[in-house]
A = this chain, B = another copy of it.
Amino acid sequence: MATKTEQVQAKGGKNRHRSLGLSDDQALRMYEVMRLARAVDERMWLINRQGRAPFVISCQGQEGAQVGVAAALKPGHDWVAPYYRDAGVVLWFGMTARDQMLSFFARREDPNSGGRQMPGHYGSRGLHIVTGGSPVATQLLHAAGVALASKQRKEDAVTATFFGEGAASQGDAHEAMNFAAIHKLAVLFVCENNGYAISVPQTRQMAIQDVAQRAAGYGFPGVVVDGNDVLACYEVAATAVARARRGEGPTLIEAKTYRMTPHSSDDDDKRYRQAEEVALWRTKDPIQAYIRYLREAGVLRDEVEQAITERVTQQVDEATEYAEQAPDPSVDDLLKFVYKKDVSG
């Protein structure tokens, strides 16, 4: 079994997406979902700064890794266990801007939690998105369990779970990778390494260069990829998915990326990040990079760009308007669903 860490470099050329088996339409769908994730996120910050909603946590800067990996999966058939930044993943899996805004405003209709959880705590049984709480890294074990069930029923569904490089320090990350390796489970462990866990830089989080190096210690491949190159992320994910469907077991994918916002609306990243560093990474924005590629490839013509921008803006506007008007849960909702089956006398 290959266990060496491969440095996957983005190959140039105007035909990258086609050589990866992606049609122009698929390439554009990926672009539109990245744009939508970004637009919803930006709108949330705006509303938060106006004091109309208490909390935002962002995907900005990580949409390439999220959509690149998600695009290699089959929504509805495969499963994802995302973390709070994965707007790009859940939008690809069928959530809508409206769903996002309903949870942002904590409305009763919020499909993730009925207004109970903070924004970013995704979950939908129907969409095969495993519910996430706030404690980091627990979802890696859930993903292993979902994959175990698929294996027990001899189904070829793949489960992808996403987490930050900080979460990789938790014991659960170790236990999940070890278990998935032992049973050769169809799991993609996707680490979105943005260099910080709130204020803690990678150098205080681990003594290694690449989280992907850990995979060898479990007995499966670890791959490092440029997380700001959506097509490179798609490529390594497609390889890992194929391997998983063949029953050859998990892959650890480390997408090197950056968080373009503070950790959340409660954070002040100026305390721990240099303005230069933030500025440098702005130039590596995965959306801008993808735009450059799509234009070069002749896929993103002006009218297409314009149509996408209009659709995105319209969805965000409608979603915001709808969600802000939508009703709150009522007081008597408080006691519901402690159990699925209430047996108290």
Name A's interface SS. helix
- Interface assignment of A172: CB less than 8 Å from any CB of chain B: yes
Q: How far is A217 from B219 in the complex, measured between Cα atoms in Å?
A: 12
Contacts of A217 in B (CB 8 A): 208, 213-217
Closest chain B CB from A292 CB (angstroms)? 35
- Interface assignment of A218: CB less than 8 Å from any CB of chain B: yes
Of A171, A178, A206, A207, chain B has the most CB atoms within 10 Å of the CB of A207
CB under 8 Å from chain B, chain A span 131-190: 169-175, 178, 181-182, 184
Given the interface pairs A216-B216, A217-B214, A217-B216, the reply to whether A182 lies near B204 with Cβ below 8 Å is yes
Binary contact track A209-226/B, C-beta < 8 Å → 1, others 0: 000011111111000000
- Interface assignment of A48: CB less than 8 Å from any CB of chain B: no
- Interface assignment of A205: CB less than 8 Å from any CB of chain B: yes
Asked if A178 and B169 sit within 8 Å, CB to CB, the answer is yes
Question: Per a CB cutoff under 8 Å, which of B205, B208, B218, B249 touches A206?
Answer: B218
Closest residue on chain B to residue A137 by CB atoms? B171
Contacts of A173 in B (CB 8 A): 174
Closest residue on chain B to residue A182 by CB atoms? B207
CB under 8 Å from chain B, chain A span 188-242: 203-208, 213-220
Q: How far is A220 from B206 in the complex, measured between Cα atoms in Å?
A: 11
Contacts of A203 in B (CB 8 A): 182
Copies per assembly: 2
Of A182, A184, A208, chain B has the most CB atoms within 10 Å of the CB of A208
Asked if B170 and A182 sit within 8 Å, CB to CB, the answer is no
Contacts of A249 in B (CB 8 A): 207
Q: How far is A183 from B249 in the complex, measured between Cα atoms in Å?
A: 33
Contacts of A215 in B (CB 8 A): 217
Q: How far is A181 from B175 in the complex, measured between Cα atoms in Å?
A: 19
Closest chain B CB from A282 CB (angstroms)? 29
Given the interface pairs A213-B217, A216-B217, A217-B214, the reply to whether A181 lies near B206 with Cβ below 8 Å is yes
Of A171, A203, A213, A220, chain B has the most CB atoms within 10 Å of the CB of A171
Contacts of A208 in B (CB 8 A): 181, 217-219
Q: List 6 A-B contacts (CB under 8 A).
A: A171-B171, A174-B174, A181-B207, A206-B218, A208-B217, A214-B217
5 A-B pairs with the lowest CB-CB distances in the bound complex, closest first: A171-B171, A174-B174, A207-B219, A214-B217, A181-B207
13 A-B pairs besides A174-B174, A216-B216 with CB distance below 8 A are A169-B175, A171-B171, A171-B174, A173-B174, A181-B207, A182-B203, A182-B204, A182-B207, A206-B218, A208-B218, A208-B219, A214-B217, A216-B217
